[in-house]
């Protein structure tokens, strides 16, 4: 999003025109930014056989999936529903990684039936898998390296008390299970969390995987997860992808020589690919001044953007309607019957009732975590693609709200 003369634009498309045409609130995504981030990641790991699997839980709109598939990206899924979305978007089953957590064995069987790559993070489930499929269906194993990573406890998933992955200390038991059921392990996986800055976190985890990998002779790939940090505040420190790529590429190639076989290196970014592409446009309903605070009340809330409430996440906000107005301090709040503050004590160009505000970094874990709380409708989504605004999800209606409810005689 850039300020061109008097208006904020994406690919030459005026965002105020988008809000007027499609209404507010509305999610807007910049296709060029998504492609740029994908290419940046690929270029950083030029020296290896790299496979990127987009963590689609970040943003599952089928048009985003199609866009990334067009670039050569694969898919990381965590539910059978995401698997089906991927197939609907045109991905081949072999391009889809399925990494469930605490699902029924029946769901895993459904994923096997459609032919995707299975990734198991539980010894009990692995035993059931081995008993059912033996060596006929290859499987990846997700290990928990017990590395604390990420800026918030909710986004760190590789620590010792995490529900994700088989503990690195359980490897002897894991090996017995694999041998007993003649399980073909074709990949090893780890994911430590999000907002990781230091390449050493990946390298420490890599060394753990490399040590375990020596016990498996049929590996085809190693998956290091993701967690690359993007910028939320002006001047934020972000993951140095180029430096990370060089360090990991060097060490990975050295390991492949030790292993005696060239392996594929997988990453599964979500936020890194789509977060910065997204802007959430909301309208100011009211300006309300109390004894201590000036509130901007907007036509949205935690039902559409949960991250500030759930993670204390910071999202930059821009007043699109008044780009040169005097700076004033506001707290931006929603219209939900909760304390759904979206931003505290922000300096914004003076906000008037009816102004359109753009909430930045709204491409990841935004609409995908939205709800119908307070019986509000989910917003529309728009993709700016090749200089044109395309509606890619209609705004919900009351009919949508009632569609799955069954009325009985009361």
Q: Judge whether 40 lies within some domain.
A: no
Q: Which helix (H) or strand (E) holds 345?
A: strand 341-349
φ, ψ of residue 139 to 5 degrees: the values are -140, 145
DSSP 271-306: HHHHGGGEEEEEEEEEEEE-SS-EEEEES--TTT--
**pLDDT tens track for 223-240:** 998 888 888 888 887 888
337 catalytic residue (yes or no): yes
Q: Is 176 exposed, middle or buried (0-12, 13-18, 19+ CB in 10 A)?
A: exposed
**Same domain, residue pair 249 and 307:** no
Express as a percent the part of the chain with pLDDT over 90.
Answer: 82
CATH code for position 342: 2.40.37.10
Q: Give me 263's structure tokens.
A: 């392996």
Give pTM, 2 decimals: 0.92
**Of 73, 72, 96, nearest in space to 86 by CA:** 96
Q: Kindly report whether the peptide bond that precedes residue 107 is cis, defined as omega within 30 degrees of 0.
A: no
56, 73, 256, 337: the catalytic one is 337
Report how far residue 216's alpha carbon sits from residue 182's, in angstroms, rounded to the nearest whole number.
12
Region of 305 (left: φ > 0; alpha: ψ -120 to 50; beta: rest) is beta
**Same domain, residue pair 246 and 347:** no
Domain of 339? Answer: 2-29+275-402
Q: Is 133 helix (H, G, I), strand (E, B) or coil?
A: helix
Q: Judge whether 181 lies within some domain.
A: yes
* Mean pLDDT, the chain, integer: 92
Report how far residue 132's alpha carbon sits from residue 126's, in angstroms, rounded to the nearest whole number.
10
Q: 240 vs 39, 163, 227, 278, CA distance in Å? A: 15, 29, 12, 21
**pLDDT tens track for 335-383:** 999 989 999 999 999 999 999 999 999 999 999 999 999 999 999 999 9
Pick the last residue of a domain from 245, 269, 293. 269
- Structural domain count of the chain: 2
């Amino acid at each position: 999003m850039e300020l061109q003369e008097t208006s904020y634009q994406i690919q030459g498309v005026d965002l105020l025109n988008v809000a007027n045409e499609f209404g507010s609130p509305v999610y807007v995504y910049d296709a060029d930014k998504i492609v740029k981030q994908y290419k940046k990641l690929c270029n950083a790991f030029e020296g290896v056989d790299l496979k990127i699997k987009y963590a689609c839980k970040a943003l599952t709109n089928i048009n985003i999936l199609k866009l990334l598939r067009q670039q050569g990206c694969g898919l990381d899924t965590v539910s059978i529903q995401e698997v089906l979305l991927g197939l609907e978007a045109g991905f081949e089953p072999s391009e889809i990684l399925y990494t469930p957590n605490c699902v029924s064995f029946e769901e895993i069987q459904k994923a096997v039936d459609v032919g995707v790559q299975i990734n198991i993070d539980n010894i009990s489930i692995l035993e059931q898998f081995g008993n059912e499929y033996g060596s006929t269906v290859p499987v990846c194993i997700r290990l928990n390296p017990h590395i604390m990573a990420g800026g918030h406890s909710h986004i760190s998933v590789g620590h010792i008390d995490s529900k994700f992955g088989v503990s690195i200390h359980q490897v002897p038991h894991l090996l017995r299970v694999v041998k007993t059921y003649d399980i073909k392990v074709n990949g090893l996986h780890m994911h430590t969390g999000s907002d990781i800055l230091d390449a050493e976190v990946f390298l420490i985890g890599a060394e753990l995987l490399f040590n375990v990998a020596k016990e498996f002779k049929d590996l085809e790939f190693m998956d290091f997860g993701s967690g690359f940090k993007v910028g939320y505040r002006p001047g934020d420190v972000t993951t140095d992808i180029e430096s990370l790529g060089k360090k990991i590429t060097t060490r990975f190639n050295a390991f492949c020589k030790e292993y005696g076989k060239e392996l594929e290196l997988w990453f599964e970014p979500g936020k890194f690919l789509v977060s910065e592409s997204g802007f959430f446009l909301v309208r100011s309903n009211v300006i309300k001044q109390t004894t201590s605070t000036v509130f901007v009340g907007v036509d949205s809330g935690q039902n559409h953007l949960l991250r500030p409430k759930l993670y204390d996440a910071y999202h930059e906000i821009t007043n699109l309607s008044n780009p040169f107005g005097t700076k004033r301090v506001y707290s931006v709040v929603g219209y939900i019957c909760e304390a759904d503050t979206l931003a505290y004590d922000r300096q914004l160009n003076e906000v008037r009732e009816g102004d359109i505000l753009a909430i930045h970094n709204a491409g990841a874990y935004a609409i995908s975590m939205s709800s119908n709380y307070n019986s509000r409708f989910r917003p529309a989504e728009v993709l700016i693609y090749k200089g044109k605004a395309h509606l890619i999800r209609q705004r919900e209606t009351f009919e949508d709200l009632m569609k799955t409810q069954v009325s009985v005689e009361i």
